[in-house]
């Protein structure tokens, strides 16, 4: 059996640089499975592309689900002009101001094609239009061809996924890293690292740790995953909005990079089970693990689908403060990730049958 020996940062880098727009997660899933199989008793797949590694600590214990999501935001080819320029549909939540002049890659049947997002240049716009936000419907992708036939000859066709191009790099402070798809390859890597940490260890439950698909387009894969696993309790692993950049107010975001993982007290898809919320906070305090809390009014997590399965599944969302998410390049602090893995591992070790029953009884 293979043994997972790569460092955490190397795994995060691999996952972030892999391609996996919502609905097109095959490449990143294949990579993820290659790591997941080394730390799991077996792999389970739903028919929507989600995958989890199963590890049995106590076959009579509660079923515990930890899941990030494999998919990243991106675009899809919708139309090729006679001149070879490509119009697109956004996939996931984009803010148009972060898109112009950014590099992208298009996954085609013939291989990867590189392009850049363009629009009408400001030099030809009337003065009253230059300061206006360019709408995505006015943007296009230039792949360096001169005709529709040439674009088609290199493999481009409607329906092809388009992915932000952004290498994963270490920043000036070696604890900080920048790259695409931190939302949510960080969550995927967390599930993997929890399984790695429990390799050969006992825990009072059956753990299912892995990743869903199509979270960015409506938490779709969470619904199929929770039906497949049928957990007694669940944790969504995701990212949160860092509030430590200029102009941000505490009323908008509380968390800071480097101050620990985040427990969401509220998001637009979920209010966490109060007992489970307190259990997470008490565990962090008992174990001396830094933990921040956050409210995200403008976004949801897979926990919103987990909690409504069957007669109800106590659920929370735990993640990492991350700057500039839903863009080509986001930023996180590795200490937060390491503390998150420690916290999640400790939670799994403490989620025995009696504890889960108590949490289930509001």
Under 8 Å between Cβ of 279 and 355 = yes
Which one, of 29, 5, 333, 339, lies nearest residue 182 by Cα?
333
SS3 153: helix
338 is an annotated ligand-binding site residue: no
- The residue to which tokens 């697109």 are assigned: 88
326 is an annotated ligand-binding site residue: yes
C-alpha dist (Å) from residue 324 to 95, 242, 244, 321, 335: 11, 8, 11, 10, 18
Where b means 16+ CB within 10 Å and e means fewer, 247-262 reads eeeeeebbbbbbbbbb
Instruction: Please state, in angstroms and rounded to a whole number, the distance separating the CA atoms of residues 260 and 351.
Output: 22
Enzyme catalytic residues: 215
Instruction: Please state, in angstroms and rounded to a whole number, the distance separating the CA atoms of residues 200 and 197.
Output: 8
Q: How many residues are there in the chain?
A: 362
Greatest Cα-to-Cα distance within the chain, rounded to the nearest angstrom: 70
Instruction: Please state, in angstroms and rounded to a whole number, the distance separating the CA atoms of residues 28 and 15.
Output: 6
294 is an annotated ligand-binding site residue: no
C-alpha R_g of the chain = 21
Give the CA angle between residues 166, 172, 174 to the nearest 5°. 90
Which one, of 62, 2, 130, lies nearest residue 355 by Cα?
62
183 is an annotated ligand-binding site residue: yes
24 is an annotated ligand-binding site residue: no
Q: What are phi and psi of 67, to 5 degrees?
A: -150, 130
Residues flagged as binding site: 69, 183, 216, 238, 326
Residues flagged as binding site for Zn(2+): 69, 183, 216, 238, 326
């Amino acid at each position: 059996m293979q043994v997972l020996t790569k460092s955490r940062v190397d795994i995060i880098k691999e996952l972030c640089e892999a391609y996996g727009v919502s609905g097109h997660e095959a490449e990143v899933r294949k990579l993820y499975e290659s790591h997941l199989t080394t730390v799991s008793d077996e792999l389970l797949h739903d028919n929507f592309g989600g995958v989890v590694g199963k590890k049995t600590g106590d076959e009579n214990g509660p079923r515990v689900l930890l899941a990030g999501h494999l998919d990243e935001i991106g675009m899809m080819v919708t139309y090729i002009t006679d001149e070879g320029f490509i119009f697109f549909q956004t996939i996931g939540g984009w803010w148009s101001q972060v898109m112009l002049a950014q590099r992208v890659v298009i996954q085609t049947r013939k291989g990867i094609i590189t392009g850049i997002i363009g629009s009408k240049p400001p030099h030809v716009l009337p003065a009253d239009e230059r300061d206006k936000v360019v709408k995505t419907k006015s943007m296009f992708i230039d792949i360096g061809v001169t005709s529709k036939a040439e674009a088609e000859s290199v493999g481009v066709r409607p329906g092809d996924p388009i992915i932000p191009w952004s290498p994963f790099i270490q920043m000036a402070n070696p604890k900080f890293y920048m790259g695409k798809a931190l939302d949510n390859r960080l969550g995927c890597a967390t599930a993997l690292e929890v399984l790695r940490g429990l390799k050969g260890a006992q825990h009072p439950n059956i753990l299912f740790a892995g990743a869903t698909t199509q979270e960015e387009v409506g938490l779709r894969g969470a619904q199929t995953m929770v039906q497949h696993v049928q957990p007694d309790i669940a944790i969504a692993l995701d990212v949160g909005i860092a509030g430590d950049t200029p102009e941000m107010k505490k009323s908008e975001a509380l968390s800071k990079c480097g101050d620990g993982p985040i427990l969401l007290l509220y998001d637009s898809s979920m209010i966490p089970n109060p007992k489970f919320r307190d259990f997470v906070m008490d565990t962090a305090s008992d174990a001396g693990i830094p933990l921040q809390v956050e409210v995200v009014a403008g976004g949801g997590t897979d926990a919103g689908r987990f909690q409504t399965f069957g007669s109800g599944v106590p659920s929370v969302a735990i993640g990492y403060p991350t700057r500039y998410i839903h863009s080509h390049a986001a930023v996180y602090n590795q200490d937060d990730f390491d503390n998150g893995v420690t916290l999640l591992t400790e939670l799994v070790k403490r989620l025995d049958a009696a504890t889960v029953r108590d949490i289930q009884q509001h």
